């Protein structure tokens, strides 16, 4: 028997979703092509990982399990401490409805200090967004 979805959040960490106006961009290096860097718009971030937009016409193919290096994040100065973080592709969504692919990634070997810093950043930003509403 299938369990009914009760809407409960299953994430370990709070997630901050960026709007297109935020212009948050990550610089990534493909592990299978050292020195090959590309920048992609980041959709959201948590202390567990991030999600980014990946153009369909990109020559690089990303599959679940692939590893990359997040070199830096631009557009949010408070995330400037995130440099050279290894990430693993957890899922890829390629739906005709979207003009791009969505790539969900998990941080690998993120230090507790950086995990805590990302958590604090997300909480701070979420509080600020709630105050604006």
- Alpha-carbon distance 52 to 21, whole Å? 15
In the chain, which residues have pLDDT < 70? 1-11, 129-133
Q: What is the pTM of this model?
A: 0.83
Q: Cβ distance 36 to 30 under 8 Å?
A: yes
Q: Pull the structure tokens for residue 55.
A: 């153009």
Instruction: Count CB neighbours of 129 within 10 A.
Output: 12
User: In the chain, what are the domains?
Assistant: 16-132 (2.40.10.220)
pLDDT score of 5: 38
The dihedral over CA atoms of 17, 20, 25, 30, expressed in degrees to the nearest 10, equals 80
CB atoms within 10 A of CB 19: 9
CA atoms of 52 and 39, how far apart (whole Å) = 10
């Amino acid at each position: 028997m299938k369990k009914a979805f009760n809407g409960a959040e299953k994430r370990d960490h709070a997630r901050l979703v960026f709007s297109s106006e935020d212009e948050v961009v990550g610089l990534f290096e493909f592990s299978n092509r050292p020195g090959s860097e590309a920048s992609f718009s980041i959709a959201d971030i948590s202390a567990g990982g991030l999600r980014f937009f990946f153009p369909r016409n990109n020559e690089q193919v990303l599959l679940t399990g692939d590893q990359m290096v997040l070199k830096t994040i631009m557009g949010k100065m408070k995330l400037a401490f995130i440099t050279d973080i290894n990430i693993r592709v957890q899922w890829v969504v390629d739906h005709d409805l979207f003009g791009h692919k969505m790539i969900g990634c998990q941080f690998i070997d993120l230090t507790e200090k950086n995990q805590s810093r990302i958590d604090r950043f997300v909480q701070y930003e979420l509080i600020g967004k709630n105050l604006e509403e």
